[in-house]
Amino acid sequence: MIKKILVGIDTSEHSRNAQAYAFHLARRLGASLIGLHVVDIVSIEGSFFHDISGSLGLEPYLDFSSKMREVLTARGRSVLEDFAAAAKRENVAAETVLEMGVVANQICERAKSADLVMIGHRGVNERFSAGLLGSTAEAVARKCPRPLFIAPMKFREIARPVLAYDGSERASRAMRAAAEVASGLGVALTVVTVARDPKLGERTLDEARKYFEPYTPSAEFKLLAGHANEEIIKFLKERDADLLFIGAYGHSRIIEMVLGSTTEFVLRNSPCPVFLSR
């Protein structure tokens, strides 16, 4: 059951949309929120500022770091105050937490006290970085001990969710989360399986059909052929899906540190939010 949702808060547009999704789910699922802002220690003590202080001949570097810490902490408090005010307007129970450290590490540590973690694709410090997934989001996706919801730039109410199911244990956990969320939102879910062997694919879909029999609205089931990563993205675009549930690993998982090729490709290329279960 999703009753406590942790939301990563900063001043980026992605974060604001993660908050919008958090309010949307919290209202419909009867959950409460934890708004977490992390003062990024790398921004204060990273090599960038060491280089600047050295080139400018600044002896009191520690004083420079202290002032940066004060500025970033004050900004964090302001951001959390705005979040708390928005939660009150949305009539959603919320608490706020301000911490300092490496952003991804602090999110994953605080995640232990939540049922779901929600973050944006990118944070405020990653707007100009290369790739489609920010470094913090990628690090959290790899290490987070709880299900993770990664929000894109634009908010859309969830009406056409899709579950990618391959029969693995983590896909089964994604299936349970998808059933709870879709039922709570009152929307129909589409379950897709990608398989080169049609018989194997149908057996996998039959497992999902049996699981979803008691749930309403009724789910729809689709068998796709081809490479899983490409077919899932293609289906999401064709269906104009607004949320994807997927397991952190598929059958091809080799080592625990790697998300899995399909999962990682989908995270980087999905046109909609991704709900990642592990």
Q: How confident is the model over 71-125, as pLDDT tens digits?
A: 889 999 999 999 999 999 999 999 999 999 999 999 999 999 999 999 998 655 5
Name 119's bridge partners.
150
Contacts of 43 (CB under 8 A, 6+ apart): 49, 68, 72, 125
Two structure tokens written together for 180: 């709870």
**pLDDT at position 125:** 53
Of 191, 228, 187, 182, the residue nearest 209 (C-alpha): 191
d(CA 5, CA 18): 11
Give me the pLDDT at residue 118, please.
Answer: 97
Asked if pLDDT for residue 64 goes beyond 70, the answer is: no
Q: What is the pLDDT of residue 251?
A: 46
Contact criterion met (CB below 8 Å) for 276 and 248: yes
* Residue 223 scores a pLDDT above 50: yes
Q: How far is CA 276 from the centre of its chain?
A: 7
β pairing state of 243-247 and 161-164: parallel
Mean pLDDT across the chain, nearest whole number? Answer: 86
d(CA 23, CA 120): 14
Query: The dihedral of CA 209, 210, 213, 217: what is its sign?
Result: negative
- For residue 16, is pLDDT > 60? yes
58: pLDDT strictly greater than 60: no
Tokens of 67: 């002032």
pTM score, two decimals?
A: 0.87
Query: Helix, strand or coil for residue 149?
Result: strand
Give the pLDDT confidence score for residue 73 in this predicted structure.
92
Q: Which of 272, 248, 252 is nearest to 172 (CA)?
A: 248
d(CA 38, CA 95): 15
Distance separating alpha carbons of residues 202 and 105, to the nearest angstrom: 40
Q: What percent of the chain has pLDDT over 70?
A: 83
- Portion of the chain with pLDDT greater than 90, in percent: 67
Lowest mean pLDDT among 84-93, 198-207, 257-266: 257-266
pLDDT of residue 123: 54
Domains of the chain (ranges, CATH numbers): 4-151 (3.40.50.12370), 161-277 (3.40.50.620)
**Closest CA relative to residue 270, chosen from 223, 239, 107:** 239
Residue 265 has a pLDDT of 86
> Which residues lie across from 244 on neighbouring strands?
162, 274
Beta strands (DSSP E) in the chain are: 4-8, 32-40, 94-101, 116-120, 148-151, 161-164, 190-194, 220-224, 243-247, 274-277
